[in-house]
């Protein structure tokens, strides 16, 4: 069954390259199809117009729309990570050639924003101990890549 709502990402001219990058990072990611310009189009023949790809069961369309629009942090993709190993893997892959920000946020080499977040974060910053939650929040605010052990240590007051 086709998804009713999918995400379209507007790139200048790197749609196919970006799609290939994303499917290489996520297990089971796949490039579904690429539509290309023919002769006489607004771009060179053979250049991708769109590249459809799937990651984590979601379909995305990468569009070569030109330089009129760029990405910003007001929209991001959140990756729920079950372990520090998973946080590290996604953080390292997506931040390569991009820029790291604070609190688990980064921009990849294409300017797309991601939040690489351990699943346990909500329990730590919203846990039953208000003082522990505050300590975990303060620890998170001082981090770039989130460190589960350090967040837990802050929550526990160690």
Q: What is the pLDDT of residues 25-65, one digit of tens each?
A: 999 999 999 999 999 888 889 999 999 999 999 999 999 99
The residues of the chain that CATH labels 3.10.180.10 are: 71-158
Burial of 25 (C-beta count, 10 Å sphere; 0-12/13-18/19+): middle
- The pTM of this model reads 0.93
- What CATH number labels 1-69? 3.30.720.100
The residues of the chain that CATH labels 3.30.720.100 are: 1-69
Given 3.40.50.300, 3.30.565.10, 3.10.180.10, 3.10.350.10, which CATH number is that of 71-158? 3.10.180.10
Q: Tell me whether strands 48-55 and 30-36 are parallel, antiparallel or unpaired.
A: antiparallel
Q: What is the pLDDT of residues 136-155, one digit of tens each?
A: 999 999 999 999 999 999 99
């Amino acid at each position: 069954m086709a998804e009713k709502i999918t995400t379209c990402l507007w790139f200048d001219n790197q749609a196919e390259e970006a799609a290939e990058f994303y499917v290489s990072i996520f297990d089971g990611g796949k490039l579904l199809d690429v539509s290309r310009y023919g002769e006489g189009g607004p771009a060179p023949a053979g250049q991708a117009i769109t590249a459809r790809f799937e990651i984590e069961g979601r379909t995305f369309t990468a569009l070569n729309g030109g330089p009129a629009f760029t990405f910003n942090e007001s929209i991001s993709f959140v990756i729920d990570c079950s372990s520090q190993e998973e946080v590290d893997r996604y953080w390292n892959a997506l931040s390569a050639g991009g820029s790291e920000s604070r609190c688990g946020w980064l921009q990849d080499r294409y300017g797309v924003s991601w939040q690489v977040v351990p699943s346990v974060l909500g329990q730590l910053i919203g846990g039953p101990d208000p003082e522990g939650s505050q300590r975990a929040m303060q620890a998170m605010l001082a981090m770039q890549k989130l460190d589960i052990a350090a967040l837990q240590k802050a929550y526990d007051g160690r």
